[in-house]
Amino acid sequence: MKNIYKKLACLLALGLTFVSCNDYLDDVPKGSKTPTTLADFEAFIRDEYGNQIVNVAQALNLLNDNYVTVANLSGDRLTKANYMWDETADRIQLNQGDEITYYRSYAGISSFNLIIANALTATEATDEQRRIVWAEAKVLRAMSYYNLANFYADTYTASTAGTKLSVPLITSADINAPSKQLTIQEMYDFILNDVKEALPYLPKVSQTALHPNLGAGYAFYSRVYLQMNNYSEALKYADLALAENNRLYDWVGYYNTNKAIIDVPNSYTATASPMGYNYVENYTFRHGSIYYLSREFNIPVERAQHFETNDVKFKSRWKPITVGSENYYRTTLSGMFNFGGITTVEVYLIKAECLARANQISDALNVLNTVRKTRILPASYQDISTADKTTALNAIFRTKNNELINTLIPFADARRLNAEGVYKVSLTKTVEGTNYSLASDSYLWTMPFPQGATQNPGNGTITQNVDK
C-alpha cells in the first residue's frame, strides 16, 4: 500500500506499514521537528486538508445527491454500482481502489490519538490550554468514528447493536498498536464517552472554525443520540447546542443581493459561498470530499425537484444545464463548504424531529418553519401547518435532506429510518426509459470495507459487514 498522506509526525492507516510514532519521536529525521509543545500538537487540528476531510462520496452516489456523468459511470465500476443501485454487482471485488474514506479517516484518527496521548504533558502551555486541545481532539476523534461507523457498518439498532460488528477501534498513534473491530454498541459507547469526557473542557468560543467548541460538543451529542433513536437525549442536547449558537443564515438576503447574477439564464458565473469558515451556522467546520474543496457537486435533475418552490438557498447554488445529451444542475457557488462539520440548521431539525416524535406537533412545526423562513422567498412562503404526525415528520425529513445535501447525514438518516421501519426510504428513477429502484432493505445501504484494509488489517482483524 502506497504512502498517500503526510503528517507532521506520523500516520495511522490500518494495513499500512510505516515506522511507529514512538519510533518517529525517538529518531527524528534531519531537519524535522519533534512535536513537544502544545502548539506542535494543536497544529494537527489545523491540518484541514488532511485531518479535517470527511469524504463520503459513495454515500452521495447511492443517494444520487450528486450527478455522475456518463463518462465517469463508464470508468468507475464501484461508483456505477452505487449510483445505478446495481444489486448484481460485487462491490467488495470492485472496491480495490476507493480507499480514501477509510484511510483518510483513520489518518485523522491517528493524529487525534497523538494529541490525546500527549497534549496533557505538552510544554509551553497552561493546564487549561492543554485540556482544551485534548478535549477538541476527543470530539474530532469521536466524529471521525461516527462517520466510519455510519458508512461501513449497519446503523444503530438497539436489538442487534450488541452482536453486529462496526469498524476497527484504535486509540494509539503507534502504527503497531492492536486494533479491535468493536460491536456497534461498543463503538457508540466509545463515541459517547469521548464526548462526555471532553464536554467539561470545551471552550464556548472556538480558536478557529476547525476547533470544536462547547456548542459543537452538544450538537454532536444530539446527532449521535438521534441516530440511536434516543429522542429525549437528542432533544436535550439540541437545546443545549442552540443555547450556545442558534443563528440561521439569511439566504433570502443572499439571494436578493446576488440575484442580478443568479437569475441570468444560461449563465454560470459563480457567486461566493457563504458556507465557509465564517458561516454563522457553524459549530465546527470540516471539509467534505477532497475532490471538490472549492465548489459543490452538480446534482441530478430528479434531485433538484425535491427542493421547495422558490427555495433561494437552492436557487443560489445550482442552475440547470445541458451538456451534449446530459441534463443536470450545475453548481454556481465557489469557495468553501462545511460538509463535514456541524451547523445550527441540523440541530434545529433534530429538535423538530424529536418534538414531533413526542407528539408536540405544533412546537415541532414552529422550529421547522423558523428554518424555512430564512430559505423561501417571502412571496412564496407559507407555514407548514398540520396536526398529523406523519405529515409533520415527512416535512422535517424533506427539509433536512435538502439542507444537508452533500453531507453524510441524509445517508445516515435514511439508514436509521429504514431500520426503524415506519418512515422507510426507498428511491426510484428512470434513465433512458429504464426504471431503477433502491429498496429500503437493500444491502447497498452499507458500504464495503476496501480490499486493502481487509487483506492488510495491521495488528488486528477486519470482518466485512456486507456480503457484496
Instruction: Give 89-139 pLDDT, tens digit per residue.
Output: 999 988 876 688 999 999 999 999 999 999 999 999 999 999 999 999 999
Continuous segment of H or E residues that includes residue 453: helix 451-455
Which pLDDT score, from 0 to 100, does residue 293 have?
81
Which pLDDT score, from 0 to 100, does residue 99 have?
81
User: Vertex 143, ends 372 and 276: CA angle to 5°?
Assistant: 50
| DSSP-derived pairing of the beta strands 326-331 and 434-438 | unpaired
Cell of 50: 488532511
Which pLDDT score, from 0 to 100, does residue 33 have?
65
Cell of 392: 409533520
Q: Which domains does the chain have, with CATH numbers?
A: 1-458 (1.25.40.390)
Q: Is the pTM of this model over 0.85?
A: yes
For 344-401, the pLDDT digits (tens) are 999 999 999 999 999 999 999 999 999 999 999 999 999 999 999 999 999 999 999 9
Give the CA distances from residue 400 to residues 274, 354, 414, in Å, rounded to whole numbers and listed in that order.
Answer: 19, 13, 11
Which pLDDT score, from 0 to 100, does residue 203 have?
97
Task: Give the CB-side neighbour count of residue 331, counting CA atoms within 13 A.
Answer: 20
**What is d(CA 110, CA 104) in angstroms, rounded to the nearest whole number?**
10
**What is d(CA 152, CA 59) in angstroms, rounded to the nearest whole number?**
10
Residues of the chain with pLDDT under 50: 1-31
Beta bridge partners of 430: 435
DSSP line for 374-409? TTB-TTT------S-HHHHHHHHHHHHHHHTTTSSH
Which pLDDT score, from 0 to 100, does residue 373 have?
98
Using N-to-C axis directions, what is the helix angle for 100-118 and 127-152, rounded to 10°?
160
Which pLDDT score, from 0 to 100, does residue 2 have?
32
Which residues, in sequence order, are CB contacts of 439 under 8 Å at separation 6+? Answer: 426
Cell of 448: 464495503
Beta bridge partners of 319: 330
Strand ordering across the sheet containing 326-331: 299-300, 326-331, 318-323
